[in-house]
Every structure is written in structure tokens, then in C-alpha cells.
Structure 1
Amino acid sequence: MELLRNAVRPYAWGSRTAIADLLGRPAPAPHPEAELWMGAHPGDPSRLLRSDGSEVSLLQMLHSDPTHQLGTACTGRWGARLPFLLKVLAVDEPLSLQAHPSAKQAAAGFAEEEASGIPRNAPHRNYPDPTAKPELICALTEFHALAGFRDAHRTVRLLRELDVPSLRSHTGLLAAQPDEDGLRALFTTWITLPEHYLREVMPELLEACEAHLRARGEFAMECRTVLELGADYPDDAGVLASLLLNRIVLQPGEAIFLPAGNLHAYLHGTGVEILANSDNILRCGLTPKHVDVAELLRVLDFDCGDMRVLTGQQRDANLTVYRTPAEEFELSRVHWSPQAPGGVRLDSSGPQILLCTQGRIRLSAQSSVNGSHRPESPVGGSVPEGRASPAHGSGVGTCRELELARGESVWLAASDPAVIARPVDITADGAAQIFRAAPGAV
């Protein structure tokens, strides 16, 4: 059980306050901070903070001792690779409209690009690795997103409400076939429109959205989104594509799962994201980066309907698990209130990362000395005061404790014993909270 030091990624769409506030640093930050990474991604792996003040890369630890760190089930499926990456996302500006491939698509695309000799860091490369990239985002604040194709009948209603002259024939195209095939045909038409046509259509669309807002129409949120995106990307087909997607607002604790082929864009808010440890992205728009239309169309899933919002499965008064089909990860949330301050046992046969997002949490690692678990003890040197205590006691049980403050995270190797988590401090709003990342069912 070791504390982590994690990388902050400074993308332009990030917030200057959210991550700084989470980590207890002065805000606003000098530049936008978009993502806090926790895991063993080769681009920015977390570092284990040792009790003697030294640090070691988590990626290095996995490579040097995969069975101890990851466990036999995880290494049997993923080798010496942590299959998930945990993040905090702080979104102040919309991300690109994008989708991710399935495992089969990723493996085939990677092999083809490798055979073609395309450098893995080339800006036009679609598949820098051969793995899928399912994702789940759980809101910490109110979180806004576009995700999945809206029911086609409802999209026809939206387009008829707007009644954009240049798009009337396109509306008729979907109205004649309000299903997956109709959506594919309309999306393909829009994403391949020449730039000069987009320059003609966009002012009409923005004017229609403004009129709908003045009339207080039922699609006000969708129209505001189009206006915001159109202001930043006036000649981008992604603005048109946003008209086809579910406009979602998550409340804290709610989540959405984004499987392969799901077209989505995060718009605003702060959330905890867990995803497969992959960089494969097929972009659609709202970005100056490479867009491969043919490959995007091959990957996209045009199944349409409401996007399911996950509230998680309540295991007890404190523990909620967000179950998905992804074998790479499982996200859990442990939430305490003054009415339910009891300890929660967190056990796993695989590796875990715990992140504190509210209050202060004490973690007690329970172990035995009979060989079923190795006894816990700090590695070398003295233990920093107030952070962790060495193994103590006698007889069957030993215990090592560590406290997590808001914004801090900890690595639990597969061979570590179960952890009992308890709140030390409930915040002024009456809550303490950690998120737990682990591999999914193998």
C-alpha cells in the first residue's frame, strides 16, 4: 500500500481551478489543467512514494515484478500491463467529437499501420496500439456531454423544429428512414460536406437555433450546444453531427459507459474517468487534429436511442459499483455520511488504485502471518509522521495504516491484503468519498 504521485496533463480544454483545488494547490493555475492520470500509462506513469523519500515508476514496478503487483489472473490476460487508467477530467471547453474501436478493430488497424510503416507517433496514425478503449465517466460535479445517437424519430422532430432551409432535404432523408441506416446515411452526408457548403449552412443553422431559444422550444439545451460549438468551430462538420447525439447532464455520482463505436464529446464539468489503457481515437470533428472519415465510418455504431445513465449497484450503505461489460476495468465509489460512517472492506485478487475526492480517509491493511498474505511493513527507512504506521501487534493479525487526504491516491498490489477504509474527517457538506479502480472480471 503506497502513495502515488500523479501527472497532470495541461490540455487547452482543461480548467485552471478544478484539479488545482482537488490537489490543494493555489488556484487559478498558471495554465489549463485537463487530466490527472493515475496508473501505468507509458506516456506519464504514476510514481510510488516510498517511506524513505524515494520514488519509483509504477510502470517499472510492473515490469520488474508483474505477478506480485498484478496477480496471476491479470497477468494471464494482460501480461505485465495494467489494463486500466484512472483519471480526473476537468473540462472547461469541449473535447473533440470521437469514438474508439473494438478490440478486433484495434488489432487489425494496428497491424495494418505497422505493416505500412506509419510511425506510432505520426499525427495521422489511427491505431498507436492494438487494444480497445472502452470508457466510463462518473460525475464529480454537474457534467455535460454528447454521447450516442439519439432516437432517429426524435432527431427528425428536432430538425423539423429548426427547419434550416439548406438542410430540409437532409431532414427528409432521415424522415424516410428513421433508423440506424438512415442515421448512417445522414451522418455520412454531413461529415463529407465540402467546406464551402458548410460555410453556407452554418449561419442558417445558428440563426435557427437562436430563434428556437427565443421561442423557448423543447430543444433549448441542444440549440445552446450548437451555438457554443458553432462559435468555436464555424466550419466544422462536427457541429452538424452534434444535432444527432444525446445531450446528457450527469449529476454527481451518475455515470455513463462508452463502449466501442460510441460517438461522444465531453462538454463541461469535472468527473472521474476510468478507461482501458489505450490511445486509440477516431476523431469526427471539433478539433484541428486528423480526421479519417473512412475509418471513422467503419468503427461507428449507429444504434440509436437514449443513453443509459448509471447510478451503480448499491452493495451496502457506503459502497456503489458501476458494472459494465468492460473486462479491463471496474469502478467503485465509497461514500460516507455522518449517518453511515462505518468501515468498508476493499478486497481484490488484482491490483487497485484508490483516490480520495472528499474528506480524509484512513486505510488499514489487514494481513495474517500464516502465509496467506505477506505481512505489511514499510520499505526501508522511517515512516513519515502522520502518513503511515509500520506493522504492529502480535499473534495472528498485523495492520498497517495510511491516511488519504482529498486529491491523494494509493496503489494496492494484487498481493497486498484487504484494506478497511474509514472516514477520519467528514467535510463541511457532510461527506467523505473515495473511488476504487480495479480490473474487471477476467
Structure 2
Amino acid sequence: MLIFIENTPRAYAWGSSEALAEMLGRAPSGAPEAELWLGDHPGSPANVAKAAGTSLTLIDLIASDPERYGVRGGPLPFLTKLLAIGAPLSLQVHPNLEQARAGFAAEEAAGIPRDAANRNYRDPNHKPELLVALTEVRALSGFRPLNQVGADLATLITVASEHAAQLTTPAEHTAAAELRSGIELLEVLHEHLSRTQRTDAEFRAWLLEVMQHDPRVPLAITAVRAAAEAGSGSTLDAALASGRAQVLRELLQAYPSDPGVLVSLLLHLLVLEPGQAIFLRAGQLHAYLSGVGVEVMAASDNVLRAGLTSKHVDIAELCRIVDTNDLSDPYLPGIAIAPGVTVWRPEVEDFQLFRARLCPAPEEWDDPPTEPMPRAIECPASEIEIAAEYPLVLVVTDGRVRVDRPDGEISEVANVRRGQSLYVSAGEPIRLTGSGEAYLATVGVAGTSAG
């Protein structure tokens, strides 16, 4: 079955006020709209569109005939989202499967309500994530080499010290003293970087603890702010890694006294062009900063935060599960498997993500075109076949795509425009034609994940 699904965007504060509305072809609501969930996760299950005046969620649909609509008689092991990031998200990590099961069991035994603000584990599942950029997406992801961190700390110390030296009037005495105290902590961190006997992983764990608990941290953030403001457009921007100074300014504006501003210095700063992807493994510290993308993840809501948030932060538990090793390559390349088809297959069984780019066969083109061709016109395919051994969640991100199942028991056709989504039950392959771009999430190549 080809079933149109829809949902109401989640109005998180970090969402964009325009991007999802533009994608869905409607006027902005005026509120931030952050995530559109396209799955059967209980937190925000998608609705079956045009369900004869009744409210029918994807949970209801799968429960009505699990063998027909579910995955091996159960719910989907993955969740698909459209993300519209208008402001930085929290610094966060997700547990692996063993950690999630143990943490969930412990909090259940402790009687902590699953919707409690201080709950870390809301389900017993892991939450690996894949994001493919639709626009430029910026993100902090994974630990970068410590020599890069040290170089940036040295620059911040120099610029902040120059600013402190200019505060000479009696009225500026208190501000200068506070600034020097903050610089002292940055100097301590920098000195330890060059003299530590710890391994890099051990040192990062120590840094996370210091940045969260040292009483000088608020003053250190003041020093970073002084450097960011004093160095705008000059020393700092030239000396720090590309874009790092601007990110510091944005984080300071959004979270003026949050230790996560310091923690951000430890991480890679990524700029994804449209079509580039990152995969977030268990324990990988990360934060999305801006942009629009398609995300698919294991069906879980387990998040442990390290900062850049007003929500619950459990630094002790985060430090227990975070992976403090270097991340040499944060990107996940797509694999071109057929003309017009790219697939991202991370090392998990829960999901994989296809991108299909279509253009009409030349004999079908209007001359001149009656409407603008989508950007996907550059693709080499006029017809694409996608296997549907397991259910698919399809979302069109550009143009208009015709979906049909020519070898199915009954004739099925759906014309899906930009911003619309389909739930495709398992069965015979589907065929895509038209002019546009679609993303299709389904179960990973190894089948369903245990648990």
C-alpha cells in the first residue's frame, strides 16, 4: 500500500520559523518549527492523511495488521525526520544498546517517571543517527585533535589578555580582575594540554569535568566572550580554524553563561554541503548549529546532554558513556548504486537511507517548460526502482515524484509533491518517475536490530 502520511512540526525553541513551512508549501505559523516526525514513534506518531474523517496514526495502522504494515510483526526500528535548525541544539550523546537497556532498567527500578525532566533513559534502545544536508548544515561532531584545541586556546588567551590590558580606569577594575581570573583557567587548560601524562581520551574526560564543575568556568566564558568581541573581523577570525570564531559568538549569544561554550572547542566544526552526510555513533558528542536536513535514526528518545541547554544535564552519566577518542573522519559518504540513486548505509541494522533524483525522459520535456525544473534535473535517471522488502518512509524534498508498484497485487499510484510523505508497506519493488528528489528510509541491510 502507498499511504500518504503527515504530521505537525515540533515547535522546539531552536527551530526555524520559515524552513519547514516553505518545504511543506504553507505559510509560516510564526513559531519556531524544528522537527517533522515521519514514523510510528509514540512521542509524535505520523497520521494517515485523508483517513475518512477519522484520526488514524501510523501506530494504529501497524497495530491493525502488523504483518502487513509493520516490520516482522512489530513497529518500525527507525524514525525519519525533517530538521529545520534555526539555532544551536544542545551538546549531547546517545547510549549504545547495552547502556540504554541498563540505564532504562535502573531508572524504571528507581521509579523515575518516563516523562520526568531528570530522566536520562526514556526507552531501552540505542539512538544512532544519520543526517543528510538539504541546505548547508553546520554541526559540532566528535573530538578533534588536542593540538588544534591548544592552538585555539592560545589564541583566545592572547586576544582576551590584550583586551584586559586595555581596562585601566578605576571603573573597569572589577571587570579587568574578573577577566584575568577567567584567563587563568584558560591558561591552566592550555598548560595541561602540553604537559599532561594522560592519554588524549583521558584528558578529554578530565576537560569535560573541569569545564562543567570548576568555579572559574563563568569567568572563563567571560574571557572567551571578550576575545570573541574584541577579535571580531580581525585577530580571532584570522587565527582560529575556519568559522570557529563565528560559532563561538553565536553560542555566546544563545547561551551566555553555559559551560557548553567551552566544551564546543573540543569538537570538530563541520560544514555540510547539500547531499553530504554525517553519522552519529553511540557516545559521539555533537550539536547541530544551523541548516535543513533529512535525519533517520533508531527509534529512541535517549539523550544525555553536556550543555547548550536549559534541560537536564547529568555530566557524570554523560562522562560514563561518552566516547572520548579522536574522530578522524566525521563524514559518511553515500554510495551511488544506480543512476540517480545514492544510499547511506551506516554500521547499524536499524536503518539505511536512499536518495532518488529524477528527471523526465527528454521526449517528455515541455518546450519551453511550463514550470521551472527542480534542481534534481541534473540527475541521470528518468525511472528508478527501489526494493521494498521492508516498509519505506518516503519524503519528497524537491519537485514532484510519481510512485507506483507495477508488480503489486493491485494497481497503486501516488503523485507526491515537495513536502509530502508516503508510507510504503513491504512488498514488491516500487517505481519512481517524474521530476524531483525523494529520500526513502527503510530497515538496514542486515535486517531488524535486536531489541
Shared fold per TM-score greater than 0.5: yes
- Tell me whether 1:269 sits opposite 2:291 in the alignment: yes
Residue 202 of structure 1 aligns with an amino acid whose one-letter code is I
- Tell me whether 1:170 sits opposite 2:189 in the alignment: yes
Aligned match for 2:213, one of 182, 185, 192: 192
Matches within 5 A, 1:304-343: 304-336=326-358, 337-338=376-377, 340-343=380-383
Aligned to 1:4: 5
- Tell me whether 1:299 sits opposite 2:324 in the alignment: no
Aligned to 2:132: 138
Residue 364 of structure 1 aligns with an amino acid whose one-letter code is D
Q: Hey, what's the Cα distance between the residues in 2 that align with 1:317 and 1:191?
A: 49
Deviations along 1:107-136, one digit per CA (max 9) or x if unpaired, are 000000111111111110101110001111
**Unaligned segments of structure 2, at least 5 residues:** 158-182, 359-375
Q: Secondary structure at the match of 1:315?
A: strand
Change (3 A) 1:52 1:202: closer
- Contact 1:210/1:223 (<8 A) preserved: no
Residue 50 of structure 1 deviates from its aligned partner by 5.2
Q: Secondary structure at the match of 1:133?
A: coil
Aligned to 1:366: 406
Aligned to 1:405: 417
Aligned to 2:26: 25
Q: Secondary structure at the match of 1:262?
A: coil
- Tell me whether 1:148 sits opposite 2:142 in the alignment: yes
Residue 222 of structure 1 deviates from its aligned partner by 1.2
The farther-off stretch of 304-313 and 271-280 is 304-313
- Contact 1:173/1:186 (<8 A) preserved: no
Change (3 A) 1:71 1:132: closer
- Contact 2:126/2:298 (<8 A) preserved: yes
Q: Hey, what's the Cα distance between the residues in 1 that align with 2:45 and 2:440?
A: 18
Residue 209 of structure 1 aligns with an amino acid whose one-letter code is A
Deviations along 1:299-322, one digit per CA (max 9) or x if unpaired, are 100011444222300112200001
Identity of aligned residues (%): 39
Residue 366 of structure 1 deviates from its aligned partner by 2.0
Matches within 5 A, 1:51-130: 56-72=56-72, 75=73, 80-130=74-124
Change (3 A) 1:420 1:124: same
Aligned match for 1:232, one of 254, 271, 274: 254
Residue 404 of structure 1 aligns with an amino acid whose one-letter code is V
Q: Secondary structure at the match of 2:48?
A: strand
- Contact 1:246/1:306 (<8 A) preserved: no
- Contact 1:184/1:302 (<8 A) preserved: yes
Q: Hey, what's the Cα distance between the residues in 2 that align with 1:97 and 1:282?
A: 8
Q: What TM-score do you get using the length of structure 1 for normalisation? A: 0.86
- Contact 2:35/2:81 (<8 A) preserved: yes
Q: Hey, what's the Cα distance between the residues in 1 that align with 2:71 and 2:119?
A: 33
Q: Secondary structure at the match of 2:68?
A: helix
- Tell me whether 1:202 sits opposite 2:221 in the alignment: yes
- Contact 2:141/2:330 (<8 A) preserved: no
Residue 52 of structure 1 deviates from its aligned partner by 5.1
- Contact 1:2/1:50 (<8 A) preserved: no
Q: Secondary structure at the match of 2:125?
A: coil
**Unaligned segments of structure 1, at least 5 residues:** 369-374, 377-390, 392-399, 426-431
Q: Secondary structure at the match of 1:417?
A: strand
Q: What TM-score do you get using the length of structure 2 for normalisation? A: 0.84
Residue 438 of structure 1 deviates from its aligned partner by 0.2
Extract structure 1 runs of 4+ deviating beyond 6 A. Answer: none
Residue 161 of structure 1 deviates from its aligned partner by 2.3
Q: Whose helix fraction is larger, Structure 1's or Structure 2's?
A: 2
Residue 174 of structure 1 aligns with an amino acid whose one-letter code is L
Change (3 A) 1:169 1:405: same
Count of aligned pairs between the two proteins? 397
Q: Hey, what's the Cα distance between the residues in 2 that align with 1:211 and 1:243?
A: 18
Deviations along 1:44-70, one digit per CA (max 9) or x if unpaired, are 211223575655211012223222113
Aligned match for 2:151, one of 137, 149, 157: 157
Residue 397 of structure 2 aligns with an amino acid whose one-letter code is T
